[in-house]
Amino acid sequence: MMIRIRSRDGLERVSIDNPNITISQFKTLIQNQLQIPIHNQTLSTNQNLLLAKSPPDLLQFTDMSNPNTLLSSLNISHGSIIFLAYEGHRTIAGPAVHPAGSFGRKMTMDDLIAKQMRVGRQENPHCDSVSFDRDCANAFQHYVNETLAFAVKRGGFMYGTVSEEGKVEVNFIYELPQQGTEEILMLLRDSDEEKIVDAIAAGLGMRRVGFIFNQTIMHDKKDYTLSNREVLQAAELHAESELKEWVTAVVKLEVNEDGGADVHFEAFQMSDMCIRLFKEGWFETEIGEDVDPKLSIMKKDVVVGSKDVKEVDNDFFLVVIKILDHLGPLSTTFPIENRITQVTMRALRSHLDRAKNLPFVKRISDFHLLLFLAKFLDLNSDVPALAECVLTQTAVPEGYQLLIVSMANT
C-alpha cells in the first residue's frame, strides 16, 4: 500500500506492507524512507498543518498525535494524503546530476545563468489569506458538481479587494467563455466582455484578484497537487495580472470518511521563481503525452537542491494560502454568464419578480445581472452610474429603473 505525504518539500510516497499499523510504526517508516527523525514529525490529515508557523501552532493538530492509533481507524487507505510538518533540514533525492565544470563538460553562459535559477520552496506567500463570499463560491462549486459532475474542467476569474495587509476578499466570479475536457481547460477569452467586467468591478471598488478552476473526478486517483498544464496556465494568468497577491484556487472532490465525496477548496500562490521562470521563457510549453504530469519541464537546467535538473516537481512552485469565508455585498442569484443555458430577458423578468419586495438597488446588486444589463447600456456612463448605486447602496434613478423594467418586459 502507498500513502502520499505532503510537506514543505512537496509530495512524496511512503510504502506500507501492513495496512494495520499504528501511527508510531508509520512514523518509523517515514524516518526510514524519507530520512525525517520521528521526534521531528508532526502528522495530520488536515492540510492547514502546512500553514503552522510555530511549535504552539503544531500542537493544535491532534488527530494523529496518539502513537497507538491505527491508521485504518482514521480511514487512511491506499493513495490517501497525509500532511507532514517537521523541524530541521534534509537532503531530498533528485534526478541524476549532469556533470559540469572542470570534471565534466565545459561551463557555458547558459550553465552560468542556470546556476542563478535556484528552485526552492517559498515559505511565505505575498497574500496573507483569501476569503470567499459564500454565495459566489457555492454557485461555482454547485455548477461543477451538480451540472458538470466534475467530469470536465471549468474556470473563472475572481474579483474582489486586496487590503494593505495582503488579505484578499473574493466577492464574485466571472465565468469567461471556455471549453473544458477532463485534462485541459481552454479559455476562449473575449476582450470586449472582459472590458465590461473590469468596468463593473471598478465601479464596485473591486479588481481582478485571481483565477479559480476545478479538477475533474479522475484527479483524486493521481499523486500530484497541480498538473504541469495547470501550473503553466496558473503561471500565465498570474504573470499577466502583475498583482503580487494574485490567488490561484482549486475546487476538487475528495473521498470522505463514509466513502462519499466532499467538495474542497484549496488556494495557492505561484512562487516568485515560478513567475520569473515563466516570464523569461524557461518552461517547455509543448507537453508530450509521455511526460509525467507532476513534473514541469524546463528548456534549460535549473538548480533544485544541489542538482542540475530540467524536471521540477510542481509542488515546488506552490505556496499554500489560508482560506476563509464571508458574506459579501453582492448576491449571486441571477443566472451566470457563458454556461450551458443562455441568459435571456425572461431570466431578467423572473429575477426582478422574485425580488420585487426589495428596494430596487438590492434587486440589481448582483454582478451577473449587471453584466447582462451592461451589454445593452453605455459602458462609459450607464454602467458606472449603476455600479456606484450598488457600491453605495443608494437609490437607483427612476429613469434607470424604468429602462431596466422595460427591458425585462420585452
Q: What mean pLDDT is predicted for residues 63-69?
A: 92
Alpha-carbon distance 105 to 238, whole Å?
37
- Give residue for cell 476582450: 191
- Give residue for cell 454568464: 337
Helix, strand or coil for residue 16? coil
Does residue 94 carry a pLDDT above 60? no
Helix, strand or coil for residue 263? strand
What residue spans of 204-259 are helical by DSSP H? 228-241
C-alpha to C-alpha distances, 202 to 165, 173, 195, 337, 389, nearest whole angstrom: 21, 14, 10, 19, 13
pLDDT computed for residue 110 by the predictor: 60
What residue spans of 153-227 are helical by DSSP H? 191-203
Does residue 135 carry a pLDDT above 80? yes
Give the chain's length. Answer: 410
pLDDT computed for residue 23 by the predictor: 93
Helix, strand or coil for residue 385? helix
Q: pLDDT of 2-40, one tens digit each?
A: 888 988 877 788 989 888 899 999 999 999 989 899 989
pLDDT computed for residue 346 by the predictor: 95
Lowest mean pLDDT among 58-62, 146-150, 363-367: 58-62
**96 confidence band (pLDDT: 50, 70, 90):** very low
Reference 273, options 285, 260, 282, 284; nearest CA is 282
Q: What mean pLDDT is predicted for residues 60-75?
A: 90
- For the beta sheet containing 295-304, the strands, ordered from the edge strand earlier in sequence to the opposite edge, are 118-119, 295-304, 307-313
CB 314 within 8 A of CB 225: yes
10 Å Cβ neighbour count for 24? 12
Does residue 101 carry a pLDDT above 50? no
pLDDT computed for residue 50 by the predictor: 85
Q: Between these two residues, 75 and 408, which has the higher pLDDT value?
A: 408
pLDDT computed for residue 51 by the predictor: 83
C-alpha to C-alpha distances, 230 to 270, 311, 362, nearest whole angstrom: 11, 16, 38
**405 confidence band (pLDDT: 50, 70, 90):** very high
Q: pLDDT of 165-187, one tens digit each?
A: 999 999 999 999 999 999 999 99
Beta-sheet pairing, 167-174 with 155-162: antiparallel
**115 confidence band (pLDDT: 50, 70, 90):** low
| Beta pairing partners, 304 | 119, 307
Helix, strand or coil for residue 275? helix
